[in-house]
């Protein structure tokens, strides 16, 4: 049997770029999230993803806020 498990592993403190960058860095550097050698993961996350993605992700997080809280269940 195959399936997909969706889990909310947290969210940034705010939608500001610096908070999203810190959250993504902590989340994506976990070896259970991206299962590749540490040095490859470090280069990918710190060298590429965290230079581009936090601003775009902050905008996406703003769309998922209800009041001052993140609510990913508001679409289900």
Q: Outline where the chain has alpha helix (H).
A: 17-28, 38-44, 50-63
Place of tokens 């500001």: 16
Indicate the burial class of 14 (C-beta count within 10 angstroms; 0-12, 13-18, 19 or more).
middle
Q: How far is CA 16 from CA 37, 56, 73, in A?
A: 30, 11, 21
Q: What are the backbone angles phi and psi of residue 65, rounded to the nearest 5°? A: -95, 140
Residue-wise pLDDT for 4-43, tens only, equals 777 767 778 888 899 999 999 999 999 988 999 999 999 9
Task: Name which of 1-5, 38-42, 58-62, 67-71 the model is least confident about.
Answer: 67-71
What's the predicted TM-score (pTM) here? 0.71
């Amino acid at each position: 049997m195959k399936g997909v498990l969706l889990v909310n592993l947290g969210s940034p403190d705010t939608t500001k770029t610096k908070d999203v960058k810190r959250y993504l860095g902590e989340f994506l550097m976990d070896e259970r999230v991206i299962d590749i050698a540490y040095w490859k993961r470090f280069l990918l996350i710190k060298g590429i993803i965290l230079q581009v993605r936090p601003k775009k992700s902050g905008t996406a997080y703003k769309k998922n806020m209800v009041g001052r809280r993140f609510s990913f269940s508001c679409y289900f």
